């Protein structure tokens, strides 16, 4: 049993290490503060929450220590999603998963910067998914949510929710109770990027961006 637990610990640690390389800090260089974001495309496309990227003069801190100015290219306040661009290439990315395949009880991990702790990870299980989840503090039509038994904190917003294979299944966005977190489902992220960047393959064509919300 000990060897099984040791292997599980090693596997989870390796999974988190891989995810951390693709997680960034999103900073307001005028007022400070930091949310999180996920590198979606190696040529500098980053996904985060709209409430993390409300202002101009944003900076992105990469896992390799570089701090780059970021340009807001699309935002959807209703769905709490935003897309940023930085001038960089060959950046590490996370494989997008399929949030429609999630089921209650599946293990997930959230990575972000809670209370300023860089690239911290916390885990739990999926509680439920869908467009209409009871008792959420928001009511957004046709929004896909992932509700999880994961303790999110300030600084987790905009960071990735990943499954046991390290695939991104959501963007962490809010707290709804002592140990209940809510993420925007990754399938909603894909639709947001297709719609705002004008491509059926938004993950590969950030240069085609035609901003819709900014």
What CATH number corresponds to the domain at position 141? 2.40.10.10
One domain for residues 118 and 89: no
Listed residues 74, 93, 112: the one ending a domain: 93
Q: What is the pLDDT of residue 125?
A: 95
Exposed e or buried b per residue across 191-204, where buried means at least 16 C-beta atoms within 10 angstroms of its C-beta: bbbeebbebeebbe
One domain for residues 63 and 111: no
- Grade residue 29 by pLDDT with cuts at 50, 70 and 90: low
Nearest Cα to 159, choosing from 58, 31, 9, 46? 46
pLDDT (tens digit per residue) in 91-117? 999 999 999 999 999 999 999 999 888
Residues tagged active-site: 51, 80, 157
One domain for residues 60 and 118: no
Q: Dig out the tokens for 2 from the structure.
A: 């000990």
pTM reported for the whole predicted model: 0.85
Q: What is the pLDDT of residue 150?
A: 92
One domain for residues 104 and 153: yes
What residues make up the domain containing 148? 99-188
Listed residues 33, 58, 93: the one ending a domain: 93
One domain for residues 50 and 64: yes
Provide the number of structural domains found in the chain: 2
Nearest Cα to 143, choosing from 103, 110, 104, 187? 187
One domain for residues 72 and 116: no
Most confident of 108-117, 128-137, 148-157, 159-168: 159-168
One domain for residues 50 and 103: no
47 lies in some domain: yes
124 lies in some domain: yes
Residues 6+ apart with CB under 8 A from 43: 88, 89, 91, 206, 207
pLDDT (tens digit per residue) in 163-203? 999 999 999 998 877 778 999 999 999 999 999 987 544 44
């Amino acid at each position: 049993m000990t060897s099984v637990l040791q292997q599980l610990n090693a596997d989870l640690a390796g999974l988190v290490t891989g995810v951390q390389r693709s997680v960034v800090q999103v900073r307001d260089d005028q007022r400070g503060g930091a949310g999180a974001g996920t590198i979606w495309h190696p040529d500098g496309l980053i996904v985060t929450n709209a409430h993390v990227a409300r202002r101009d003069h944003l900076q992105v801190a990469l896992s390799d220590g570089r701090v780059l100015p970021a340009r807001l290219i699309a935002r959807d306040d209703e769905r709490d999603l935003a897309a940023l661009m930085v001038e960089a290439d060959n950046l590490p990315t996370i494989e997008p998963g399929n949030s429609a395949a999630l089921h209650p009880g599946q293990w997930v991990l959230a990575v972000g910067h809670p209370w300023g702790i860089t690239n911290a990870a916390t885990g739990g299980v999926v509680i439920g998914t869908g467009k209409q989840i009871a008792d959420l503090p928001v009511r957004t039509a046709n929004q896909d949510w992932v509700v999880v038994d994961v303790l999110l904190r300030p600084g987790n917003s905009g960071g990735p929710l990943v499954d046991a294979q390290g695939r991104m299944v959501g963007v962490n966005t809010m707290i709804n109770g002592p140990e209940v977190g809510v993420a925007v489902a990754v399938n909603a992220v894909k639709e947001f990027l297709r719609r705002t960047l004008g491509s059926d393959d938004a993950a590969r064509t950030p240069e085609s961006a035609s901003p819709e919300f900014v």
